[in-house]
Structure 1
Amino acid sequence: MRETVLPTPEPPDLPGTRPRLSKRGRLRTYFLTGIIVAGPLAITIYLTWYFISLIDSWVKPLVPPSYLPDHYLPFSIPGLGLLIAFFAVTLLGFLTANLVGRSVVEFGEVLLARTPVISGLYKGLRQIFETLFSANGTSFRTVGLVEFPVKGTWSVVFVSAPAGPDVQTALDPAGDHVGVFLPCAPNPTTGFFFYLPRADIIEVEISVDDAAKLVMSAGVIQPEDPQARLHAMAASLRTAQTEAAPSSAGRNAPASQDA
């Protein structure tokens, strides 16, 4: 007579244990985990490759083909244009720091200053680049909170430079006004710029990078304190050890009684 094999029932979920997932739930979890891992990596590689290809397309046509390794090799070397651009910009900075290079730059600026339209564009762009990339620049290094757009609501701003003498005199000669940039979510490159009294700005101890992530994620990615994260990890580890101690003691108790 053939025996009937009954399926073994799954043990019920105990209190405090993680519930079992179905095959569809596990597949969905694996898929989402793969997206979390592969998504940022793929976008980073794509943007890096796009930037390198863009610089190569600008620089390589300016170099004679006989000086490029691509002329002798059966394949193209990516990043060669970026390397040439880096050395060219560094050499330009080195020459500008010397007396001869400074004289050449000043002569070029005099020629541009006499051109009606180009002079204003060049001066404005140079001031922006000097403010953002100078070694002693202080703009956009402080994050603050201001009441905007209505009273009682707070927005993240990047504190810029203090107001100039003309602007300060027009606003309040005895006051202290500072320029702030309020980025828009989720694109922090667009926003509003306005002057506020320094007393109306609440400075917060977070970096500009963390503030930009906060704006781009619409508040999903919060600034993280590395020290607090380490304390939380240590606390969870101590909790796990405390919970594991009674169970191990319970397993060893019968053995000691038999002995």
Structure 2
Amino acid sequence: MSVVGALDGVFAWLVVAAQTVLPESLRPALQQLREIPGLSVIIVVAALLLTGMAVSNMAGQWLVDQSNRLFSNIPIVKSIYSSVKQVSDTLFSSSGQAFREAVLVQYPRAGSWTIAFVTGRPSGEVADKLPDDMLTLYVPTTPNPTSGFMLLVPRTDVRELGMSVDEALKYIISMGVVAPPATPARPASPTAASTSAPTRQS
């Protein structure tokens, strides 16, 4: 219910902002909308459905392409937008392999745990400077998983999770509200097996 409360709070703030710019005759109606519990959730769901319907046809795709071109030509904004878009396209592509598995790791201090994603193993010069059996992890922030931290940690410091990558992302985005059902930890993944003997440069 905390997510619903947060959405209601944002919706209430938007109503208050709208009341300051709209004619006074419309303010009572806006106030009535503000007092309807759960209306913010309905609006968010409707907006998502309409957005999905819009981008699924040619006209909607054209608008998306034009907005991408617009943001890509604005100084300063284009560097931030292109970086975020590249990261999100890579991480959340349905055919992407950026995230191999979800794990638990102690971060930002010992005794404090967070969900991370295995992205591979260190390679090149970085691998030469580190002990064997190290993993590269991505620790996303919440509720926006497109930003986060990269960690290089020993395999022994990681606890595997039975949940899928999609379930872990939902858990992170919902700030822990949408918890996946308890499942036993998966056996050692092909990623771990294939990376158990890293190649070092001489």
TM-score by length of 2: 0.52
- Does 2:32 correspond to 1:32? no
- Does 2:154 correspond to 1:149? no
The residue number in structure 1 matching 2:51 is 47
Cα distance, 1:221 vs structure 2: 1.2
Q: What do the CA deviations read for 1:150-184 (whole angstroms, capped 9, x no partner)?
A: 11010110111111143211112xx1111110000
Q: Distance in 2 between matches of 1:202 and 1:141?
A: 14
The residue number in structure 1 matching 2:71 is none
1:71-150 alignment, distance < 5 Å: 138-150=97-109
Contact 2:101 2:165 in 1 (8 A): yes
Q: What do the CA deviations read for 1:163-215 (whole angstroms, capped 9, x no partner)?
A: 1143211112xx11111100001111110012111111111011112111111
Q: Distance in 2 between matches of 1:45 and 1:55?
A: 15
Q: Distance in 1 between matches of 2:39 and 2:94?
A: 41
Q: Distance in 1 between matches of 2:127 and 2:97?
A: 19
> What SS class does the counterpart of residue 37 from structure 2 fall into?
helix
Cα distance, 1:58 vs structure 2: 6.6
Contact 2:135 2:152 in 1 (8 A): yes
The residue number in structure 2 matching 1:14 is none
**Structure 1 runs (4+) greater than 3 angstroms displaced:** 31-36, 49-54, 57-60, 131-135
The residue number in structure 2 matching 1:56 is 62
The residue number in structure 1 matching 2:78 is none
Note the residue ranges of structure 1 that are not aligned, 5 or more in a row: 1-30, 61-124, 227-259
1:199-218 alignment, distance < 5 Å: 199-218=156-175
Q: Distance in 2 between matches of 1:48 and 1:156?
A: 29
Contact 1:144 1:202 in 2 (8 A): yes
Q: What do the CA deviations read for 1:39-97 (whole angstroms, capped 9, x no partner)?
A: 4531322332453555224779xxxxxxxxxxxxxxxxxxxxxxxxxxxxxxxxxxxxx
Count of aligned positions:
128
- Does 2:193 correspond to 1:187? no
TM-score by length of 1: 0.41
Q: Distance in 1 between matches of 2:123 and 2:94?
A: 19
Contact 1:160 1:181 in 2 (8 A): yes
Share of identical aligned residues, percent? 28
Q: Distance in 2 between matches of 1:138 and 1:194?
A: 18
Contact 1:138 1:161 in 2 (8 A): no
Q: 1:141 to 1:39 in 2, by over 3 A?
A: farther
**In structure 1, what residue type is equivalent to 2:46?**
A
Note the aligned Cα RMSD (angstroms): 3.6
Q: 1:146 to 1:43 in 2, by over 3 A?
A: same
Note the residue ranges of structure 2 that are not aligned, 5 or more in a row: 1-35, 67-85, 184-202
> What SS class does the counterpart of residue 214 from structure 1 fall into?
helix
Q: Distance in 2 between matches of 1:50 and 1:143?
A: 33
**Which protein has the larger Cα radius of gyration, Structure 1 or Structure 2?**
1
Contact 1:142 1:207 in 2 (8 A): yes
> What SS class does the counterpart of residue 47 from structure 1 fall into?
helix
